Each structure stands twice: as structure tokens, then as C-alpha cells.
Structure 1
């Protein structure tokens, strides 16, 4: 996913937001169940005599994909410093440009004042991460 942005002189990491393995697998399980039900219903609607194939195929496909990309997804660490939010692949958000941070299905959606959006995925407590980021942005705006 590329390298993280380097720290500036005098910049300190305040907190890291690492993906949670349990949240990762739970998100994929939920996706597999929902898509499996949907696939089974479509096969029923089409009159397929074996609608159970839909849920089984959905679970297998999502499970294989989840296993294949797990190491990459679980390596995406976001760092909050005293000046910026640093993400994977060199993403950088100055705290003065931090607009909103909201929990979103096990993740946190960060929107900057410029309208850019970033997703901090697979957090064990997305509400706490969003609150922490909102506070950091408010402090920077008043700083």
C-alpha cells in the first residue's frame, strides 16, 4: 500500500489506529450472509431448482477474497500526530483541514474541509476513533 508519510521535524505520534482482525472478519461474515441471502433469493426468483448454491458460492467467494487480501488490509495503519493524520500510501491530512469523522459500518469516514474523504477501516471501536479525531481537529482549529 505504499509508504507512510514521514514525520516532520518536531512532530510526534499521538495515537495509532490499527485494523482489528476481529472487526475485519466480522465485516466479511456480515457481507457473506447478506450477499448469500440475496444470491439465494435471486436463484429462487429465477426458478432455479438449487437456490442453496447462491449462498454457498457467496460465502466461498467472499471467504477466499477475505483470506487473500487480509494481510494487506490489516497492515493499513493510520497515525495521528500533533499536527496531521497520516494514512497508508502517503495520505496526509493536516489537523486544521480535518472536517468530520463519523463511524461508518465498522470504519471511520474522515472528510476534510476541502471535501476529500478517507476511510479508516476495520476499527474495533469506530465511535471512539471518530470522537478522538474530531477532538484533535477541534483543538487544531483553535490552536
Structure 2
């Protein structure tokens, strides 16, 4: 397959979740945290999805005149969500996000510079990241969304403070000015 992002990897390899699909860290880049999915949160998210499906069945089936078949609809929802949860579980748990002193590195070549990070918000059991350009990423099935948000924001703010400090300590000679 082709390599549209010029990452040096084939497209199939880059698609598969896991450390092999991640963009490597740059020289001198310091790893600060790794965010992994939580098993308990994963199953509670699947239960919530099944509950929403069941509510839809309970609402829609009588409107369609199929009230006597609600049990079949409910069974279908629970089987579908359960089977899907089992089939994608290994892929979900192979995904991780790494926080470095410069950026967030996600699965399948995703990355987001901390300086470009505008919004960090909770979305159920996930954390949504939004960049200056509107690019959105989702770190899914987290045990402690608030802790992850605080860690990411602290790293971003520390990087911004460091950049301001470097800028404020430049001399006129550094800026190309002459006396």
C-alpha cells in the first residue's frame, strides 16, 4: 500500500494499532505520561451504548406498530453491541496516547503539538483534544478523565511558560538589533 503521509511505513502497518503504528519520538523529546484505555470504563461505555439502543427500540417499535416484537429488538441490540464490543476490544486496547514535553503522540500516526492545543474537554469517559486548526482527537475509555485533562493542560501550560521565558530572556543581539 502507499504511504500518503511519507512516514516510511506501509499503509497497512500504519493502520494497525499498537506501538509499531506510532510516530517515533524526536531526539531529546521527554515522555511525561502514557494514557491507556481502562477495562472497567470500556465495558461501562458498552453498557451505556446498549442502553441507548434499548431505549430507541422501546420508543420506535411501538410507533411502527411492532410492540409485540420489542423483545426481539432488545435481544438484537444487546447481541449486536456485545458482539461488537468483543470484536473490537483487542484493537481498542492496543491504542495508547503518549504525552511528551512537546506533543501528544497517538495511534496510527496521530500527533498534536502542545502549542497547537486549544481545547481539552471531557466527553463521557473520553477526552477530546481540539487543535488551532480544528483538528479533533479522542482519547477513549479512560478511568480518570479529569486526571488526564489536568496532566495534558499542565504540560501545555508549562511548554507555553517556557516559550515565553525563552522569548523574554533574549537580548537585542539575539534579535538582530544593534546598539
**Alignment correspondent of 2:12:** none
- The answer to whether the aligner puts 1:43 opposite 2:61 as a matched pair is yes
Q: In the TM superposition, what are the counterparts of 1:12-31 in structure 2 within 5 Å?
A: 12-31=30-49
Q: Which runs of 4+ in 1 moved over 2 A?
A: none
**CA-atom RMSD, angstroms?**
1.1
State the SS of the aligned residue for 1:50: helix
Q: In structure 1, what is the Cα distance between the partners aligned to 2:115 and 2:52?
A: 39
**Alignment correspondent of 2:175:** none
1:46-99 deviations in whole A, cap 9, x for unaligned? Answer: 221221111111011011011000000111100001111100011111111111
Q: In structure 2, what is the Cα distance between the partners aligned to 1:17 and 1:83?
A: 16
User: Normalization by structure 2: what TM-score?
Assistant: 0.76
- The answer to whether the aligner puts 1:80 opposite 2:105 as a matched pair is no
User: Normalization by structure 1: what TM-score?
Assistant: 0.95
Unmatched 5+ stretches in structure 2 = 1-14, 163-179
Match of 1:130 among 136, 149, 167: 149
Q: In structure 2, what is the Cα distance between the partners aligned to 1:129 and 1:30?
A: 22
State the SS of the aligned residue for 1:47: coil
Unmatched 5+ stretches in structure 1 = none
TM-aligned CA deviation for residue 40 of structure 1: 2.6
TM-aligned CA deviation for residue 141 of structure 1: 1.6
Answer yes or no: is the 8 Å Cα contact 1:41–1:51 preserved in 2.
Answer: no
Q: Which moved more, 1:20-29 or 1:131-140?
A: 131-140
